């Protein structure tokens, strides 16, 4: 650790005047009480080193926590892993009586994570589909078009959306969003897009992938929008001027001078939003319907990786059931870490000015 040897370096060459120099030092410092006081202060080397280690400990504890979570997940999911192997995420069981695929049957000890992986992916991508255009539009408006007076309040309200607890989103979805979708939006989707097979009429509750996707979209909107804003602000003004000087309209300037330069960072912002959507638990659990099935219709109810853990962990019926849930948790943990790391890297690439070395 280089920092430690650095911090020691200035301590050593410093001569230690205090005791031995008493006669000469006293004579020299006689005129100034402040000099005398400072002379007696010492160099606080021990306190300084202690502080250094305390801070190192704080920093390391982050890695410690991540490592502990990972080990615990690995150890507790071992039973399911040894029983089902990698097929846990891909295979279905065939029900001997109905001959239909079965995924999640705690009573008979059949566990497959496939419907939860499916549910997580479908609801998250629906969320991205809805949130990304809205978030980028919002960011463009806030950075390039909004009158200065409105900028701060609008940005503030957007950020506030991120601070609302997810259970509140869930409640709002249950009481407002789901009835709204059920009564007014879903019938339209069925009528207009029913022919695709993606919107079927056989779920009267309104709880399902579409509801989960919409509420997720609202929840990830602030993070995508504020990061997009950050990378757009990082684009130097000289790029905007260069495009304007060629005779560009405002929209052309935004497209060529801003969005084009910020695109890597915007991709990062979107992936970060995806990371949020993948791991979001409470609101999704409240509106997705919680049935471990795979159906083509987006209006059908389903279940996600996070929601099945939240629903079943407290009342799991046996060691294998618990272990299977933990394995889903482990998979979610790994995927969200990778997705988030990737996203942060992309955003850094832009805000640190890596591609725009010109300036």
- Residue 174 touching another protein (CB under 8 A): no
The stretches of 207-318 forming alpha helices (DSSP H) are 209-234, 237-245, 250-252, 260-279, 282-287, 305-312
Which one of the spans 32-40, 198-206, 320-328, 351-359 is the region binding another protein (CB under 8 A)?
351-359
- Residue 356 touching another protein (CB under 8 A): yes
Q: Applying CB under 8 A, what is the total number of residues that bind another protein?
A: 24
Of these, 45, 236, 322, 333, which contacts another protein (CB under 8 A)? Answer: 236
Of these, 39, 244, 310, 335, which contacts another protein (CB under 8 A)? Answer: 244
User: Within positions 246 to 265, which residues make up the interface with another protein, using CB under 8 A?
Assistant: 246-249, 252, 256-257, 260-261, 263
Of these, 8, 108, 238, 317, which contacts another protein (CB under 8 A)? Answer: 238
- Residue 359 touching another protein (CB under 8 A): yes
- Residue 349 touching another protein (CB under 8 A): no
Give the nearer residue to another protein in terms of CB position, either 99 or 359: 359
Closest by CA position to 306, among listed 283, 322, 337, 274: 283
Going residue by residue from 125 to 164, which x/- string records binding to another protein, judged by CB under 8 A?
Answer: -----------------------x----------------
Give the nearer residue to another protein in terms of CB position, either 106 or 236: 236
Closest by CA position to 220, among listed 261, 175, 164: 164
The stretches of the chain forming alpha helices (DSSP H) are 2-8, 22-29, 33-39, 45-76, 78-84, 114-140, 148-163, 166-172, 178-180, 186-193, 209-234, 237-245, 250-252, 260-279, 282-287, 305-312, 319-351
Sole residue written with tokens 């400990």: 57
Largest CA distance in the chain: 103
Is residue 119 within 8 A of residue 277, CB to CB? The reply is no
Distance between CA 242 and CA 256 in Å, rounded? 10
Q: Which residues bind another protein (CB under 8 A)?
A: 148, 236, 238-239, 241-249, 252, 256-257, 260-261, 263, 355-359
């Amino acid at each position: 650790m280089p920092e430690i040897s650095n911090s020691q370096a200035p301590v050593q060459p410093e001569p230690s005047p205090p005791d031995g120099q008493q006669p000469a030092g006293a004579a020299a410092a006689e005129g100034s009480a402040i000099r005398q006081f400072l002379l007696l202060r010492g160099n606080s080397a021990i306190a300084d080193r202690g502080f250094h280690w305390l801070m190192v400990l704080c920093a390391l504890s982050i890695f410690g926590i991540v490592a502990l979570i990972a080990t615990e997940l690995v150890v507790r999911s071992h039973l399911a892993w040894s029983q089902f192997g990698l097929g846990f995420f891909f295979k279905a069981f065939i029900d001997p009586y109905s001959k239909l695929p079965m995924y999640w049957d705690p009573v008979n000890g059949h566990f497959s994570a496939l419907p939860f992986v499916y549910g997580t992916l479908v609801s998250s991508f629906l969320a991205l589909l809805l949130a990304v255009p809205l978030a980028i539009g919002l960011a463009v408006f806030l950075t390039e078009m909004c009158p200065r007076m409105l900028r701060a309040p609008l940005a503030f309200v957007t950020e506030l959306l991120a601070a609302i607890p997810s259970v509140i989103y869930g409640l709002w979805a249950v009481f407002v969003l789901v009835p709204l979708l059920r009564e007014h939006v879903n019938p339209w989707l069925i009528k207009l897009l029913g022919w695709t097979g993606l919107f079927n009429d056989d779920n009267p509750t309104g709880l399902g992938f579409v509801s989960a996707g919409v509420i997720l979209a609202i929840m990830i909107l602030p993070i995508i929008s504020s990061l997009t804003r950050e990378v757009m602000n990082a684009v130097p003004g000289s790029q905007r001027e260069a495009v304007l000087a060629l005779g560009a309209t405002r929209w052309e300037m935004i497209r060529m001078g801003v969005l084009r330069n910020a695109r890597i960072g915007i991709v990062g912002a979107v992936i970060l939003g995806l990371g949020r959507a993948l791991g979001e638990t409470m609101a999704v659990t409240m509106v997705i319907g919680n049935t471990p099935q795979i159906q083509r219709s987006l209006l059908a109810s389903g279940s996600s990786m996070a929601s099945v853990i939240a629903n079943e962990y407290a009342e799991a019926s046996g060691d294998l059931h618990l272990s299977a849930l933990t394995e889903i948790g482990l998979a979610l943990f790994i995927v969200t870490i990778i997705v988030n790391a990737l996203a942060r890297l992309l955003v850094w690439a832009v805000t640190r000015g890596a591609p725009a070395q010109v300036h």
